[in-house]
A and B are shown apart, each in its own frame.
Chain A
Amino acid sequence: MKQKYLPLTATILIFLLSYALCVAQYPNMLSTRVIGNLLTDNAFLGIAAVGMTFVILSGGIDLSVGAVIAFTGVFLAVVLEQTSIHPLAAFALVLAITTLFGALMGAIIHHLEMPAFIVTLAGMFLARGMAFVLSIDSIPIKHPFYATLKSLYFKLPGGGRITLIGGLMLLVFAVGILVAHRTRFGTNVYALGGGTATAKLMGVPVAGTTIRIYALSGLLAGLSGIVFSLYTSAGYSLAAVGVELDAITAVVIGGTLLTGGSGFVAGTLVGIFIQGLIQTYITFDGTLSSWWTKILIGLLLFAFILLQKGIIRLSRPERQHA
């Protein structure tokens, strides 16, 4: 097996193993219901994490994701409350806004040669600020179309349901995998992660690719915001705080190197599942407090970093000199 699949394999194995352990303790966890809920509850995070995967593969980072999700939710709530436009039109409008927002950050990162960390941090302030300006209250969304969308689901044997948003997340992952591995854009993303200067010399359109990567992340953050507003039926400017951190964690647990250039979109899905599994387990247990989630995820993150470190060290025993 090629060494680059090792982290992904390890992620999958850990997921299967921990799922098996959970089931051993609580046999009820082996049901399509649990799986369906896992998909639904993590749909918005998963969609945002796909965008984050592309950003991280290219060697960047996007801290604005959570704020953009909140902005999207508030925007939809305000628009649907105060105007009579159809939610679908509002969806299109907000996706256009978030995509443009991402593209703008990409353009600043590339053209002003500023670190992505700082630019997207400013973007986070800006998006959160826009959400505040729209409304500082939590606004419920009561549009009938929302109820329709929420009632759509695909019934699994065993009583589980794949809801619209859960299915949408799987679809986004499928498209993400295809884009990453079967398009020139995807290869260019990996190329940027391998080294911007070299990629440029090899003719990769660095400016265009960078802008598209952040635009994609903006688009998916917007989509994630729509999903989040469907999930919560509300828009609140203080919502989704720290989602970017969860997304980054999922990406790293999924076996993608934070330095860029190496990793898989599919791994991120498993990373999402692992995080979801921990939460589900704690819910099932009932006696554990919620902070154990954070500590466990932190430990898991640590374990994965060590694992990746070990793999890298094994593959290159010691640097070869002349």
Chain B
Amino acid sequence: MTSTVRTYLGRLLPQLIALAIIITAISIIFPGFLNLQIQNGRLYGSLIDILNRGAPVVLLAIGMTVVIATKGIDLSVGAVMAICGAVSASLITSGHSLVETLLVTLAVGILCGVWNGILVAVLDIQPIIATLVLMVAGRGIAQLITEGAILTFIDPGLIFIGSGSFLGLPMPVVIWLIFGILVALVVRQTALGMLVEAVGVNREASTLSGVFTPVLLIAAYVLSGLCAAIAGIIAAADIKGADANNAGLWLELDAILAVVVGGTSLLGGRFSIAASVLGAVIIQAINTGILLSGFPPEFNLIIKAAIIVFILVLQSPRFRTAFTYVSMPRAAGKPTEREAK
């Protein structure tokens, strides 16, 4: 058991170090950064803020990780967020109960996932193109639902999801924590994780070994759609309205980035949900940190780009090879020559 914990920590080490460096750096520039206060039974502080603000990207990253592990990508999550936000706002304003609203919204997210999944698994369309369709059309659909306006609502239940708190933590944080742990447990305590990795590495060989590839692929996109739906609800609840134009805009890119920063290869295969969540938190920490550190907000994107490039360069194959050159043979091409003996 201890060895599994150790390998697990080993996997997350680069992300943990990166996060530690970023947090240390921010707290040096902005001394109050690490402060936490309890008001009205709820934690306040910049750290909590990061976890709260990061909720949508964290959620998207959870689904995106599994999709990327299957050698796929889901560009539509931002648009699906917008659709789901619009659906929940329009349902709640037209008098449906909170439970109905939530269930239907989640179902819509799942439906979007099924659509993507069928395109990828059954019609065998390249994931980046398959999900591009919904990415392009999805925002139009969301606007169709809200009829171009920002659809506001006042239902306290729905708003609670965005700004309420539970056990001292903001609701969005509670939601992604529980959901993330749930997904990670389901994936790792069953054989799902291994099967997903097998499909991601070699779809044909996995199918021939009896893995039910199409269902697995569709399930991955469904998970991604579900994550986008939850993120969409949170985003809408947060601003008490559905903004079809801006909800989740470009968040698919942040989510992909989070997965990559988390060390999961875009080529599929090995994945870690915890690492992706850390990746998303890192990205949000950078965002918040820049804001707090007193840099002019104009510099946000540049600093973010620089830090991300730095992290990615550290992970790049070429850079790693340069470090491990001594211990690694150059014969990447045909290792059989050595192994046969």
A258–B137 CB distance below 8 A = no
Query: Out of A122, A248, A302, which one reaches B305, CB within 8 Å?
Result: A122
Choose, from B2-10, B272-280, B294-302, the stretch at the interface.
Answer: B294-302
Q: In this assembly, does B100 line the interface, its C-beta being within 8 Å of a C-beta of chain A?
A: no
Q: In this assembly, does B178 line the interface, its C-beta being within 8 Å of a C-beta of chain A?
A: no
Q: Mark B100-138, 1 if CB is under 8 A from A, else 0.
A: 000000000000000000000001111011101111111
Query: Out of A63, A248, A294, A306, which one reaches B137, CB within 8 Å?
Result: A294
Residue of B nearest to A259 (CB): B126
State the Cβ distance, B304 to closest chain A Cβ, in Å: 6
Known: A249-B132, A305-B125. A117 touches B305 (CB 8 A): no
Query: Out of A112, A136, A291, which one reaches B318, CB within 8 Å?
Result: A112
Q: In this assembly, does A115 line the interface, its C-beta being within 8 Å of a C-beta of chain B?
A: yes
Q: Determine the chain A residues whose CB is within 8 A of the CB of B313 once the complex forms.
A: 112, 114
Q: Determine the chain A residues whose CB is within 8 A of the CB of B144 once the complex forms.
A: 289, 291-292, 295
B304–A114 CB distance below 8 A = no
Q: In this assembly, does A133 line the interface, its C-beta being within 8 Å of a C-beta of chain B?
A: yes
Q: Determine the chain A residues whose CB is within 8 A of the CB of B309 once the complex forms.
A: 108, 122
> Which residues 278-322 of A sit at the B interface, judged by CB distance below 8 A?
289-295, 297-299, 301-302, 305-306, 309
Residue of B nearest to A246 (CB): B136
Q: In this assembly, does A118 line the interface, its C-beta being within 8 Å of a C-beta of chain B?
A: yes
Q: Determine the chain B residues whose CB is within 8 A of the CB of A295 once the complex forms.
A: 137, 140-141, 144
Q: In this assembly, does A128 line the interface, its C-beta being within 8 Å of a C-beta of chain B?
A: yes
Q: Determine the chain B residues whose CB is within 8 A of the CB of A309 once the complex forms.
A: 123-125
B305–A129 CB distance below 8 A = yes
Known: A294-B137, A295-B140. A248 touches B298 (CB 8 A): no
Known: A114-B316, A118-B257, A121-B253. A301 touches B133 (CB 8 A): yes
> Which residues 299-322 of B sit at the A interface, judged by CB distance below 8 A?
299-306, 308-309, 312-313, 316-319
State the Cβ distance, A166 to closest chain B Cβ, in Å: 25
B126–A298 CB distance below 8 A = no
Bound: A130/B302 CA distance, A: 7
Bound: A65/B244 CA distance, A: 24
Q: Determine the chain A residues whose CB is within 8 A of the CB of B244 once the complex forms.
A: 291
Bound: A128/B249 CA distance, A: 15
Q: In this assembly, does A181 line the interface, its C-beta being within 8 Å of a C-beta of chain B?
A: no
Q: In this assembly, does A147 line the interface, its C-beta being within 8 Å of a C-beta of chain B?
A: no
State the Cβ distance, A195 to closest chain B Cβ, in Å: 15
A133–B298 CB distance below 8 A = yes
Known: A305-B129, A305-B130. A118 touches B305 (CB 8 A): no
Bound: A305/B139 CA distance, A: 20
Bound: A90/B58 CA distance, A: 42
Q: Determine the chain B residues whose CB is within 8 A of the CB of A112 once the complex forms.
A: 312-313, 316, 318-319
State the Cβ distance, A270 to closest chain B Cβ, in Å: 18
A113–B253 CB distance below 8 A = no
Residue of A nearest to B129 (CB): A258
State the Cβ distance, B135 to closest chain A Cβ, in Å: 7
Q: In this assembly, does A169 line the interface, its C-beta being within 8 Å of a C-beta of chain B?
A: no
B316–A113 CB distance below 8 A = yes
Query: Out of A117, A125, A128, A291, which one reaches B140, CB within 8 Å?
Result: A291
Query: Out of B135, B148, B266, which one reaches A291, CB within 8 Å?
Result: B148
B140–A294 CB distance below 8 A = yes
Residue of A nearest to B144 (CB): A291
State the Cβ distance, A113 to closest chain B Cβ, in Å: 5
State the Cβ distance, B77 to closest chain A Cβ, in Å: 14
Bound: A305/B128 CA distance, A: 11
Q: Mark A90-130, 1 if CB is under 8 A from B, else 0.
A: 00000000000000000010011111011101111110111
Residue of A nearest to B145 (CB): A291
State the Cβ distance, B265 to closest chain A Cβ, in Å: 9
B133–A258 CB distance below 8 A = no
Q: Determine the chain A residues whose CB is within 8 A of the CB of B130 once the complex forms.
A: 305
Known: A294-B137, A298-B140, A301-B133. A129 touches B301 (CB 8 A): yes
Bound: A299/B139 CA distance, A: 13
Q: In this assembly, does B256 line the interface, its C-beta being within 8 Å of a C-beta of chain A?
A: yes
B136–A125 CB distance below 8 A = no
Q: In this assembly, does B143 line the interface, its C-beta being within 8 Å of a C-beta of chain A?
A: yes
> Which residues 241-264 of A sit at the B interface, judged by CB distance below 8 A?
245, 248-249, 252, 258-259
Q: Determine the chain A residues whose CB is within 8 A of the CB of B55 once the complex forms.
A: none
A118–B312 CB distance below 8 A = yes
Bound: A113/B322 CA distance, A: 13
Bound: A133/B306 CA distance, A: 15
A294–B139 CB distance below 8 A = yes
Query: Out of B128, B299, B312, B319, which one reaches A129, CB within 8 Å?
Result: B299
What are the nearest 6 A-B pairs in CB distance?
A298-B137, A294-B140, A129-B301, A129-B302, A291-B143, A125-B305
Binding site for B on A (CB under 8 A): 63, 108, 111-115, 117-119, 121-126, 128-130, 132-133, 136, 245, 248-249, 252, 258-259, 289-295, 297-299, 301-302, 305-306, 309
Can you name 21 A-B residue pairings with CB atoms under 8 Å? Answer: A108-B309, A112-B318, A113-B316, A114-B313, A118-B257, A118-B266, A122-B308, A129-B299, A129-B303, A130-B302, A133-B302, A252-B132, A258-B126, A289-B144, A291-B141, A294-B136, A294-B140, A301-B129, A301-B132, A301-B137, A302-B137
Q: A118-B266, A291-B143, A291-B148 are in contact. List 12 more A-B contacts (CB 8 A).
A: A114-B312, A114-B313, A125-B302, A125-B305, A129-B304, A132-B298, A294-B136, A294-B139, A295-B144, A298-B138, A299-B137, A301-B137
